[in-house]
Amino acid sequence: MARITLKNLKHAYMRNPQRDEDWALKELNLDWDDGGAYALLGPSGCGKTTLLNLISGLLTPSHGSILFDDQDVTRLPPEQRKIAQVFQFPVVYDTMTVYDNLAFPLRNRGVAELTVDKRVREVAEMNDLTATLGNRASGLTADGKQKISLGRGLVRTDVNAILFDEPLTVIDPHLKFQLRSKLKELHTRVPNTMIYVTHDQTEAITFADKVVVMNVGEVVQVGTPKELFEEPHHTFVGHFIGSPGMNVLSCDLKDGHAYIDGNRIATANRAGAGAGKSEIGVRPEFVKFAGHGLEARVVKVSDAGRFSVVEADSAGGLIRLLVEEGGAIPSEAARLEFDPAATRIYTDGWLAGRAGQP
């Protein structure tokens, strides 16, 4: 077990990266605490799998270094890094039994057969595989196979961290929930660092203590699910997390305050000096109909169970808001009020006035 430190890490798949877009992973510094449950969240192609493969050693970074505790492992091959990894598509050794599959990583490392047997049975028990231990692995269903992949990671006692690369992609929806709870439960029993890559916010939020949000090759925010929801550092985070995502409205700035169509909007932060595209971000949960505020016109109401999602057109753009069941919804013209504590100004996408922001 170890703390993982990424220092000035950068990676490009081409030999001579010139422009910014050439980097699959832009420069990044990050600490992963020992025993934490992390999620790496972002849309497809944002560099999360690249980052994962750099940590496990399947890729060697073009730049920067990776430390496990204080040991530099940047150039070490995967088998020497004490890392387990579960892939998107289940990998099992078809010709072996479930038992032999689980024993494989230990036998490769020359562990005594007595210890192997003890570990395999323990892990099989944890993963509900005891009944199928003697079966051929090729005959199992996708979730069974994925449990084996997972088991092969858990069976080793020397593991620094377990990495998951979208492990639930090929699992039936009704089993996804089960397997996810299983992972969560395992994390409480096996205090390993776990890093879970996904593009599904629900998976990330239910699994992780801390979520790392990535977009186009860079980390946009690291935080608890609550932090990401309440204080997105970037409009991308606001948009990507939450359903429906955060409203992003164009606005004008005057003396650090935000104005939409001449109306001053009270915000939690103030914009600093300097030019850039200014926007206001506010989640649908913090917008309500009121007697005063921004003028808007209701264009669409959709029922989402306990509440309705209302779409309204305003001078700043389309605004979504949530109205609880039974709440009054004006038929056309309306005024909207934002909760000032949850309304923020963003400059060029980034939260304005935040320390250390580029």
Q: Enumerate binding residues for another protein (CB under 8 A).
A: 53, 56, 58, 77-79, 83-85, 87-89, 91, 93-96, 104-105, 108-109, 136, 149, 152
Residue 353 CB, nearest distance to another protein (Å)?
A: 43
Residue 283 CB, nearest distance to another protein (Å)?
A: 38
SS3 150: helix
User: Given the complex with another protein, which of 105 and 281 has the nearer CB atom?
Assistant: 105
User: Given the complex with another protein, which of 78 and 223 has the nearer CB atom?
Assistant: 78
Where is 64: in which H helix or E strand? strand 63-68
Where is 226: in which H helix or E strand? helix 225-230
Q: Quick check: 56 and 104 in contact, CB under 8 A?
A: no
| Strand order from edge to edge, sheet including 317-324 | 287-290, 333-338, 294-303, 307-314, 317-324
User: Given the complex with another protein, which of 8 and 95 has the nearer CB atom?
Assistant: 95
SS3 224: coil
Query: Which tokens belong to 82?
Result: 């004490």
The gap between the terminal CA atoms of the chain, to the nearest Å, is: 34
SS3 180: helix
Q: Looking at this protein, which amino acid is placed at residue 69? A: D
Rounded CA gap, 284 and 251, in Å? 17
Kindly provide the b/e burial profile for residues 260-298, where b requires at least 16 CB atoms within 10 angstroms of the residue's own CB: beebebebebebeeeeeebbbbbbbbbbbbeeebbbbeb
Owner of token pair 């069941």? 325
Alpha-carbon distances of 306 from 298, 303, 323, 326, rounded to whole Å: 19, 8, 9, 9
User: Given the complex with another protein, which of 102 and 220 has the nearer CB atom?
Assistant: 102
Residue 171 CB, nearest distance to another protein (Å)?
A: 16
Residue 87 CB, nearest distance to another protein (Å)?
A: 4
Residue 89 CB, nearest distance to another protein (Å)?
A: 6
Residue 117 CB, nearest distance to another protein (Å)?
A: 18
Query: Which tokens belong to 112?
Result: 């005594």
User: Given the complex with another protein, which of 194 and 258 has the nearer CB atom?
Assistant: 194
User: Given the complex with another protein, which of 167 and 245 has the nearer CB atom?
Assistant: 167
Residue 153 CB, nearest distance to another protein (Å)?
A: 8
Angle in degrees, CA 281, 285, 340, rounded to 5: 55
Residue 146 CB, nearest distance to another protein (Å)?
A: 12
- Adjacent-strand bridge partners of 195: 38, 163
Query: Which tokens belong to 194?
Result: 């776990």
User: Given the complex with another protein, which of 170 and 175 has the nearer CB atom?
Assistant: 170
User: Given the complex with another protein, which of 95 and 202 has the nearer CB atom?
Assistant: 95
User: Given the complex with another protein, which of 47 and 105 has the nearer CB atom?
Assistant: 105
What Rg, from alpha-carbon coordinates, does the chain have?
24
Residue 77 CB, nearest distance to another protein (Å)?
A: 7
